[in-house]
Amino acid sequence: MQHVNEDCLLLDSNRLAQMGIFKARHIRAEAQWEGGSNILLVYMGEHMNLKYSVNGRPYTQEITISTMPCHFGGFPYYFYCPACSTRRVNLLLGMTGFYCRECYDLPYCSQVCRYLDRLITKNHALQNRLWGENRRPMRKSTRRCLIARLNSIQDEINKESMRRFGVLIC
Ligand SMILES: [Zn+2]
Protein backbone atom coordinates (compact mmCIF):
# COMPACT_ATOMS: atom_id res chain seq x y z
CA MET A 1 0.00 0.00 0.00
CA GLN A 2 1.35 3.40 -0.90
CA HIS A 3 0.86 6.22 1.53
CA VAL A 4 0.29 9.80 0.62
CA ASN A 5 2.21 12.32 2.64
CA GLU A 6 -0.80 13.58 4.58
CA ASP A 7 -0.70 10.27 6.41
CA CYS A 8 2.75 11.09 7.74
CA LEU A 9 3.49 13.36 10.62
CA LEU A 10 4.76 16.67 9.38
CA LEU A 11 7.42 18.95 10.74
CA ASP A 12 6.75 22.40 9.32
CA SER A 13 9.50 25.03 9.63
CA ASN A 14 6.99 27.89 9.17
CA ARG A 15 4.95 26.63 12.09
CA LEU A 16 8.02 26.24 14.28
CA ALA A 17 9.12 29.77 13.34
CA GLN A 18 5.66 31.16 14.15
CA MET A 19 5.88 29.52 17.54
CA GLY A 20 9.17 31.30 18.16
CA ILE A 21 11.34 28.18 18.28
CA PHE A 22 14.10 29.67 16.12
CA LYS A 23 14.28 32.93 18.05
CA ALA A 24 15.77 31.22 21.08
CA ARG A 25 19.46 30.27 21.07
CA HIS A 26 18.67 27.03 22.83
CA ILE A 27 15.22 25.61 23.32
CA ARG A 28 13.74 22.29 24.31
CA ALA A 29 10.23 21.50 23.22
CA GLU A 30 7.98 18.56 22.77
CA ALA A 31 5.71 18.21 19.77
CA GLN A 32 2.64 16.07 20.21
CA TRP A 33 0.28 14.83 17.58
CA GLU A 34 -3.21 13.56 17.96
CA GLY A 35 -2.96 9.80 18.27
CA GLY A 36 -0.22 9.92 20.91
CA SER A 37 2.92 10.38 18.79
CA ASN A 38 5.38 12.82 20.21
CA ILE A 39 8.91 13.98 19.61
CA LEU A 40 11.40 15.79 21.75
CA LEU A 41 13.00 18.66 19.92
CA VAL A 42 16.11 20.53 21.00
CA TYR A 43 17.14 23.54 18.94
CA MET A 44 20.62 24.98 19.24
CA GLY A 45 21.58 27.65 16.75
CA GLU A 46 21.87 25.94 13.38
CA HIS A 47 20.89 22.46 14.44
CA MET A 48 17.87 20.76 15.79
CA ASN A 49 18.03 17.43 17.54
CA LEU A 50 14.98 15.22 17.39
CA LYS A 51 14.25 12.26 19.64
CA TYR A 52 11.28 10.06 18.95
CA SER A 53 10.23 6.51 18.43
CA VAL A 54 8.62 4.77 15.49
CA ASN A 55 6.86 1.51 16.30
CA GLY A 56 8.69 1.30 19.60
CA ARG A 57 12.13 1.78 18.05
CA PRO A 58 13.94 4.90 19.33
CA TYR A 59 15.48 7.32 16.85
CA THR A 60 17.59 10.41 17.18
CA GLN A 61 18.20 12.72 14.27
CA GLU A 62 20.10 15.93 13.79
CA ILE A 63 18.57 18.38 11.31
CA THR A 64 20.43 21.42 10.00
CA ILE A 65 18.41 24.62 9.85
CA SER A 66 19.03 27.45 7.43
CA THR A 67 17.51 30.86 6.98
CA MET A 68 17.73 33.48 4.28
CA PRO A 69 16.33 37.01 4.04
CA CYS A 70 13.10 37.14 2.10
CA HIS A 71 12.06 39.79 -0.50
CA PHE A 72 9.04 40.71 1.57
CA GLY A 73 10.91 41.06 4.83
CA GLY A 74 11.40 38.49 7.55
CA PHE A 75 13.59 35.43 7.58
CA PRO A 76 11.98 32.19 6.55
CA TYR A 77 13.57 29.06 7.99
CA TYR A 78 14.30 25.83 6.21
CA PHE A 79 15.33 22.34 7.13
CA TYR A 80 18.03 20.54 5.23
CA CYS A 81 16.71 17.08 4.46
CA PRO A 82 19.18 14.71 6.20
CA ALA A 83 19.18 12.37 3.19
CA CYS A 84 19.39 14.59 0.09
CA SER A 85 20.53 17.88 1.73
CA THR A 86 18.01 19.99 -0.17
CA ARG A 87 16.31 22.89 1.57
CA ARG A 88 12.78 22.08 2.68
CA VAL A 89 9.94 23.76 4.50
CA ASN A 90 8.47 20.40 5.52
CA LEU A 91 9.96 17.12 6.63
CA LEU A 92 7.82 14.05 6.98
CA LEU A 93 8.10 11.33 9.54
CA GLY A 94 7.85 8.06 7.68
CA MET A 95 9.09 4.65 8.74
CA THR A 96 12.77 5.56 8.94
CA GLY A 97 12.81 9.10 10.26
CA PHE A 98 12.23 12.67 9.12
CA TYR A 99 13.01 13.16 5.44
CA CYS A 100 11.57 15.13 2.56
CA ARG A 101 8.72 13.98 0.38
CA GLU A 102 11.02 13.21 -2.57
CA CYS A 103 13.25 11.00 -0.43
CA TYR A 104 10.21 9.01 0.63
CA ASP A 105 8.98 9.07 -2.96
CA LEU A 106 5.49 9.88 -1.80
CA PRO A 107 2.77 11.00 -4.15
CA TYR A 108 1.55 14.42 -3.23
CA CYS A 109 -2.03 14.63 -2.19
CA SER A 110 -3.15 17.95 -0.79
CA GLN A 111 -6.76 17.03 -0.08
CA VAL A 112 -6.37 17.51 3.64
CA CYS A 113 -4.70 20.89 3.17
CA ARG A 114 -7.47 21.89 0.81
CA TYR A 115 -9.97 20.81 3.43
CA LEU A 116 -8.27 23.02 6.01
CA ASP A 117 -8.15 25.94 3.55
CA ARG A 118 -11.86 25.54 2.89
CA LEU A 119 -12.61 25.63 6.61
CA ILE A 120 -10.54 28.79 7.04
CA THR A 121 -12.32 30.46 4.09
CA LYS A 122 -15.71 29.55 5.59
CA ASN A 123 -14.58 30.89 8.95
CA HIS A 124 -13.68 34.29 7.42
CA ALA A 125 -16.93 34.46 5.43
CA LEU A 126 -19.02 33.79 8.54
CA GLN A 127 -17.10 36.30 10.61
CA ASN A 128 -17.66 38.91 7.90
CA ARG A 129 -21.36 38.15 7.77
CA LEU A 130 -21.63 38.49 11.53
CA TRP A 131 -19.27 41.33 12.32
CA GLY A 132 -17.90 42.68 9.00
CA GLU A 133 -18.27 46.30 7.89
CA ASN A 134 -20.82 45.41 5.22
CA ARG A 135 -22.95 43.16 7.39
CA ARG A 136 -26.69 43.27 6.87
CA PRO A 137 -29.34 43.31 9.57
CA MET A 138 -30.46 39.81 10.50
CA ARG A 139 -32.88 38.10 12.81
CA LYS A 140 -31.71 37.03 16.24
CA SER A 141 -32.39 33.40 15.40
CA THR A 142 -30.32 33.61 12.18
CA ARG A 143 -27.52 35.24 14.12
CA ARG A 144 -27.56 32.52 16.78
CA CYS A 145 -27.49 29.89 14.08
CA LEU A 146 -24.50 31.52 12.33
CA ILE A 147 -22.60 31.79 15.62
CA ALA A 148 -23.19 28.09 16.30
CA ARG A 149 -21.91 27.26 12.79
CA LEU A 150 -18.87 29.49 13.33
CA ASN A 151 -18.06 27.74 16.61
CA SER A 152 -18.26 24.31 15.07
CA ILE A 153 -16.04 25.40 12.14
CA GLN A 154 -13.47 26.79 14.57
CA ASP A 155 -13.50 23.52 16.53
CA GLU A 156 -12.94 21.63 13.30
CA ILE A 157 -10.05 23.96 12.33
CA ASN A 158 -8.39 23.29 15.70
CA LYS A 159 -8.89 19.55 15.40
CA GLU A 160 -7.58 19.45 11.84
CA SER A 161 -4.53 21.62 12.68
CA MET A 162 -3.79 19.39 15.64
CA ARG A 163 -4.01 16.31 13.44
CA ARG A 164 -1.74 17.78 10.76
CA PHE A 165 0.78 19.80 12.69
CA GLY A 166 0.64 18.67 16.28
CA VAL A 167 1.06 21.00 19.20
CA LEU A 168 4.30 22.19 20.61
CA ILE A 169 4.95 22.39 24.31
CA CYS A 170 7.96 24.39 25.44
ZN1 LIG B 1 15.34 14.50 0.90
Same domain, 67 and 100: yes
Q: Is the pLDDT of residue 55 over 80?
A: no
**Cα 68 to ligand 1 centre (Å):** 19
> In angstroms, rounded to a whole number, what is the distance separating the alpha carbons of residues 42 and 29?
6
User: Which of 108, 136, 152 is the C-terminal boundary of a domain?
Assistant: 108
Same domain, 131 and 142: yes
**Cα 54 to ligand 1 centre (Å):** 19
**Cα 165 to ligand 1 centre (Å):** 19
Helix, strand, coil shares of the chain, percent, nearest 5, are 35, 30, 30
Same domain, 125 and 62: no
Instruction: Give the pLDDT confidence of 1-15 residue by residue, as tens digits.
Output: 344 444 557 788 888
> In angstroms, rounded to a whole number, what is the distance separating the alpha carbons of residues 145 and 56?
46
Instruction: Give the pLDDT confidence of 131-164 residue by residue, as tens digits.
Output: 888 889 999 999 999 999 999 998 888 777 766 6
Same domain, 38 and 50: yes
Lowest mean pLDDT among 1-10, 37-46, 70-79: 1-10
117: domain range? 111-164
Same domain, 18 and 81: yes
**Cα 28 to ligand 1 centre (Å):** 25
User: Which of 61, 84, 108 is the C-terminal boundary of a domain?
Assistant: 108
57 to 3, 96, 107, 170: CA distances (angstroms):
20, 10, 26, 24
**Cα 37 to ligand 1 centre (Å):** 22
Question: How many domains, in total, are found in the chain?
Answer: 2
Same domain, 16 and 60: yes
